[in-house]
Structure 1
Amino acid sequence: MAYYYDFGPDSTEVSNGYTKVTAEDLYAPERGYGFTESSHVSALKRDEEALTGDFCIPFGSTFLADVADGNYIVTLTAGDAYAPTHTTLKSNGERSVLPDIHTVAGQYAREMFAVNVRGGQLKLSFGGLAPRVNVLEIVPSKEQVTLFLAGDSTVTDASEGGFPFSGWGQQLQRFFKHDVAVANHAEGGRSTKSFISEGRLDAIMKDIKEGDYLFIQFGHNDQKNDEERHTDPSTTYVEYLRKYVEAARSRQATPVLITSVHRRYFDASGKLTDTHGAYLDAVKQLAEEEGIVLIDLAAKSKLLFEAEGPDGTKSIFLWGERGEWSNYSSGVRDNTHFQERGGLRIAELVVQGIRENDLQTLIMYLR
C-alpha cells in the first residue's frame, strides 16, 4: 500500500488520492499518521497550485506514519513560492537521509530516498533553518537492493533522544540514492554469538534476498568475558562469523566482512593502540580463505585517527564538556562510541571500501 500526504492549512483543497495533513494533526493510532507535537508546526497557503501551493513548517518536528514493514521509496517535495528554504530530514529517529535541501523563492525540490521500516511505523524528523514539507509520497518497493548491517553499538542507529551518539550504520543511507535501502540490524552490546542467540540473524534471514548485501562488523563485545558474548578469536569467533557468511550465501546475497573499527587509545608517541589484536587477524584470514569481500575498517580508522591525533579525535568520538549536550549534561568521555560527525566519517570509510572492492551494484547507486 502506498501513502500520499498533502501538507497545508485545513481550509485548502486536497488533491485526489492524497490525505491532507495540517499543523494540528497530531499522531493517533486510529488516524495512523500525524506530528508527534504541534507547538512548533505551522501551515501556510501561498497560491492555488494543488500540491506545492501550501505547506507545513515542521520546525524541529517529527511526522509519524503507520506503514507495513518493508522497503519504501519516499519522495519529499519542499519549497516556498515566496521565500528560500532549508530542510534536513532524518528517518526512523536519527538516521540521516537528506542532510541539506536548499531552495530559492519559487523553487521546489523533489527528493527521493529509501527507507527500511521495521516495527510498523515510519518516523521522519525535520530540521533545518527554514524547513518546509509540501508533499510526502511513501511507496513500497521490492526492487531495491537492501544492504543489511549486523554489528554492535559502533554500527547501530541511535535510540530516540540519543543525540549526538551515532553508529556509522546510522549515517550510511545518506550516501545512497533511493535504489538502495539500508536495513540496520546492529544492536549495542552484541557479539557474533549473542546477536545470533537473540534471533537477530534469523530476523535478517526472513527478508534478505538474492542481490542483497550483508555487512558484518563485530569484535568489540566478543572480547568480553561473560558466557553470553565471549568468543575466542582462533576458534569460536571464526565459527560464528562463518554462520553469517553461510546465511547470506544461502540466499544468494553477498557477505562483506568488516574488521572492527578502532577505539580511541593512543600511546605516548601519538600512535594508536590496537585493542582488538587477534580478532582483526581472524577476520582477515577468514576473508582470504573463503574469498569473502573484506573492508579493513581497522586499517582505515587507524589512518584517520592517527592523522587527527589525540585532540582531533575528540570530535569523532563521544566527547563533550559539561553542558555541551543536553543528553550528557555532566559531560562525557567515551573512547569507543561516536558522535554524529564521527559516525559520518567512519561511514565515509566504509563507502571508500565499497569502491575499492568494486561492489558495482552498490557503487552505481551512490549519490
Structure 2
Amino acid sequence: MIQTYKFDFGVGAPEEGYTKVTPQDGYEKTVGYGFTSVANVYAKVRSEVGPLRRDFCIPVNTSFVVDVPDGTYRVSVLLGDDIAETETSITCGEGRFMLHRQRVSAGHFVRTSFSVWVTEGQLKLTFTGRAPRINAMEIEPAPSVCMLFLAGDSTVTDQPTDGYPYAGWGQMLPLFVKADAAVANYALSGRSSLSFIREGVLDTIWSKIKPHDYLLIQFGHNDQKPDEARYTEPYTTYKQTLQTYIDGARERGAFPILVTSVQRRFFEEDGTLRDTHGDYLTAMRELAEAEEVPLIDLAARSKALFEALGPEATKQLFMWLAPGEFLNFPDGVEDNTHFQQQGGIEVAKLVLAGLRELKLQPLSLYLR
C-alpha cells in the first residue's frame, strides 16, 4: 500500500501525525524528501493561531521534492500568515502550473488541493511568488482521478524551467481543472503526429491510460516539416496517423479529443491572421466529423483571440522578448510560434472554453 505523506513546515515540534520540515532540510536520497536548495528558505513563528498555522517556511525560488512511486497523487497545501499578506505560485515538475499567484490576506489561511501526475519516482513542487508561504502539505495516492493525457508538440509541452518565460499551453492547463482530475502532459517539442508514434511516446501513454480517461491530440505544426521522420500529407498519412490515436484510446476505454493546431502569429496588412496550417486544419475537422470524435477548434479560437488583440498586443503572448528583458534570453528573441507564460495561460483558457462547450461527462464536472 502506497503511503500518505504529511509535512509540517517551520520550526519547533511537529503537529501530531506530521513530519517537521525546517529551512535546513535539504533533499537527501536517504531521507527521501527536502528542499533542492536551502539558501533562500526561511522560517517564521507567529502567535498561537492554531495547529499548523503558528509557523511556516518561506521558500524563495526553491523546490520541495518527495520520493514517491509513480502514479497520481492529490496534494493539499495550507498557505497563509497571521500578520502579512502572501502570494504563492506552485509548479509541478518542469513548470506545470498548479497554483498561480494565490493571494491570501493577512490573518487568513487557505487550504487548496490539486492532483498531479508523477513519473520517475519523484514529486517536485517549485515555489515562487512575491511572498510565498508553505505551512503544511499532505500528499495522498489518488489512483482513481480522471486523467487528461496530452499528445502534441512544443506549443503544448511543459517547457523546461531554464527556458523561462517559454511555456506551452499544456503546462498551464492544470490551473483550470479541479482536484478530481490531473493532467499528464506527454507533448514534446519538434514532434509530429508521426514521429510521436515512431519514437514510442504514444506507447508510453498506452501503458498508462485507463478507461474513462481523456486523450487530447494536437499535431500539425511539425507534420508540415519536409523531413521523412515527421512529414505527413494532410488528407492521407496525417489522417491515418491521427486515426491511430483515436483507435488506441477507444480500444482502452478512453476518450479521444482532437485539437486543431493553435495559430502562429503572422498578420496580413489588413490586420487579419495568416493561416499557416492550411489543409491540416481541414483534414482534422473532416476526421473528427467522420469518426464522431469531439473537436476543439483551437485554430479558430486562437485566430479570433489574436486578431482581437492585434499585432502589437499579441507580442505579450508570444516569445517576443527585448534584449536584457529575461535572464535566459539576454539577446532577446522574436518568435511567432511559441508562447511565453501569459500566452500559455491565455491559450489554455481557449482549450478550457472548448472543453466546456463539448459538455462531456464526467469531464465537465472537473473543470474550474
Determine if the TM-score, normalized by the shorter chain, exceeds 0.5.
Answer: yes
Partner of 2:249: 248
State the Cα distance separating 1:105 from its structure 2 match.
3.0
Partner of 1:21: 21
Partner of 2:229: 228
3-state DSSP of counterpart to 2:256: strand
State the Cα distance separating 1:141 from its structure 2 match.
0.5
CA distance in 2, matches of 1:120, 1:312: 41
Give the letter aligned to residue 200 of structure 1.
V
TM alignment of 1:100-179, pairs within 5 A: 100-179=101-180
Give the letter aligned to residue 88 of structure 2.
T
State the Cα distance separating 1:148 from its structure 2 match.
0.4
The TM-score normalised by the length of structure 2 is 0.96
CA distance in 1, matches of 2:340, 2:282: 27
CA distance in 1, matches of 2:134, 2:141: 20
Give the letter aligned to residue 325 of structure 1.
F
> What whole-Å deviation, never above 9, does each CA across 1:308-366 have from its counterpart, x for those lacking one?
11111111111110001111110000011001111111111111111111123222122
TM alignment of 1:205-220, pairs within 5 A: 205-220=206-221
State the Cα distance separating 1:16 from its structure 2 match.
3.2
CA distance in 1, matches of 2:199, 2:139: 31
Partner of 2:5: 3
3-state DSSP of counterpart to 1:227: coil
CA distance in 2, matches of 1:157, 1:362: 22
TM alignment of 1:162-311, pairs within 5 A: 162-311=163-312
CA distance in 2, matches of 1:128, 1:211: 36
Partner of 1:76: 77
> What whole-Å deviation, never above 9, does each CA across 1:284-318 have from its counterpart, x for those lacking one?
00001010001111111111111111111111111
Partner of 1:364: 365
Give the letter aligned to residue 36 of structure 1.
T
Give the root-mean-square deviation of aligned CA atoms: 1.2
Deviates more, 1:249-258 or 1:61-70: 61-70
Aligned residues: 365
State the Cα distance separating 1:91 from its structure 2 match.
1.4
CA distance in 1, matches of 2:109, 2:86: 9
Give the letter aligned to residue 39 of structure 2.
S
State the Cα distance separating 1:28 from its structure 2 match.
1.9
State the Cα distance separating 1:201 from its structure 2 match.
0.8
Give the letter aligned to residue 262 of structure 2.
V
Check the 8 A contact 1:149/1:185 in 2, yes or no: yes
For structure 2, the 5+ residue unaligned runs are: none
For structure 1, the 5+ residue unaligned runs are: none
State the Cα distance separating 1:104 from its structure 2 match.
2.8
CA distance in 2, matches of 1:170, 1:104: 27
Give the letter aligned to residue 26 of structure 2.
L
Deviates more, 1:357-366 or 1:22-31: 357-366
Give the letter aligned to residue 7 of structure 2.
Y
Check the 8 A contact 1:90/1:96 in 2, yes or no: yes
Taking a change above 3 Å as real, the CA distance of residues 312 and 103 of structure 1, as seen in their structure-2 partners, is closer
> What whole-Å deviation, never above 9, does each CA across 1:131-151 have from its counterpart, x for those lacking one?
111111111101210000000
Partner of 1:319: 320
Deviates more, 1:147-156 or 1:38-47: 38-47
> What whole-Å deviation, never above 9, does each CA across 1:12-48 have from its counterpart, x for those lacking one?
1113332211101111222211111112111122245
Give the fraction of aligned pairs with identical amino acids, expressed as a percent: 52
3-state DSSP of counterpart to 2:210: coil
3-state DSSP of counterpart to 1:105: coil
Partner of 1:336: 337
CA distance in 2, matches of 1:209, 1:175: 22
Partner of 2:39: 39
CA distance in 2, matches of 1:215, 1:93: 20
Partner of 2:54: 53
Give the letter aligned to residue 99 of structure 1.
H
State the Cα distance separating 1:94 from its structure 2 match.
1.1
Check the 8 A contact 1:86/1:101 in 2, yes or no: yes
Deviates more, 1:34-43 or 1:315-324: 34-43
3-state DSSP of counterpart to 2:128: strand
State the Cα distance separating 1:211 from its structure 2 match.
1.1
> What whole-Å deviation, never above 9, does each CA across 1:230-264 have from its counterpart, x for those lacking one?
11111111110000001110111110001111111
State the Cα distance separating 1:101 from its structure 2 match.
2.3
Give the letter aligned to residue 297 of structure 1.
L
Check the 8 A contact 1:13/1:50 in 2, yes or no: no
3-state DSSP of counterpart to 2:328: helix
Give the letter aligned to residue 302 of structure 1.
K
Give the letter aligned to residue 13 of structure 1.
A
> What whole-Å deviation, never above 9, does each CA across 1:26-83 have from its counterpart, x for those lacking one?
1122221111111211112224544222111112221111111111110000112232
